[in-house]
Amino acid sequence: MKKILLRSGFVSFLFLFSSCVANLDRVRIDSYSLENVAFSGASKAKINLSIKVYNPTARKLTLEHAAFDVSGDGGVIARLHLMEAVEIPAESDGYHSLPVELNITNMLALLAGGMDLNNPPLDKLLLSGSLKVKAGMLSRTITVQNKTIGQLLKEL
């Protein structure tokens, strides 16, 4: 009897788990833009990235962690990380602000590339790193290798 209950419970869990994963695949990011850039010193900036997220699932999503190396024409120029977790409500369609911090690690490459940090070329900078999204008990870590911000957000 115990074996039957355990098997039934395990099969039910697998079914629910797989349906949660399928539902997460319906979440999409429709657009993104840079809200503002605030410098604190020569090599550090706080940036608010605005994203429009469609979450048709019955679960709220939480972007718990994100950390990326940012590369330009001259190699890795900075490290970008999410400053605080961001929650996307269940069954929602709206804009959310991602507070990120940019630590410039190679000022010479940045200056040589002539990059304007007040209006960075988001679709030319490459990201490599990872982010973690949680939906209830389910979490997914996504590893990224040399993708633009636009490519990354479209693939989430």
**94 and 86 in contact (C-beta within 8 Å)?**
no
Left (φ > 0), alpha (ψ -120 to 50) or beta: where does 3 sit?
A: alpha
Backbone angles phi, psi at 86, to 5 degrees: -125, 130
- pLDDT value, residue 8: 40
Q: What percent of the chain has pLDDT over 70?
A: 69
Choice among 7-11, 24-28, 41-45, 133-137 with the minimum mean pLDDT: 7-11
pLDDT exceeds 70 at position 93: yes
The CATH number for 151's domain is: 2.60.40
Backbone angles phi, psi at 127, to 5 degrees: -110, 140
Residue 128 per-residue DSSP state: E
For residue 110 the two structure tokens come to 């940045």
Average pLDDT over residues 120-147: 81
Quote the pTM value: 0.69
CA angle (61, 65, 68) in 5-degree steps: 130
Give me the domain span that covers residue 24: 2-155
Residue 37 makes CB contacts below 8 A (sequence gap 6+) with 45, 46, 47, 117, 118, 120
pLDDT digits (tens, 9 = 90+) for 16-39: 333 444 455 677 777 777 788 888
Average pLDDT, the chain: 75
Give the count of domains, the chain.
1
pLDDT digits (tens, 9 = 90+) for 46-77: 888 888 888 888 889 898 999 999 887 768 88
Q: How far is the C-alpha of 97 from the C-alpha of 75, rounded, in Å? A: 28
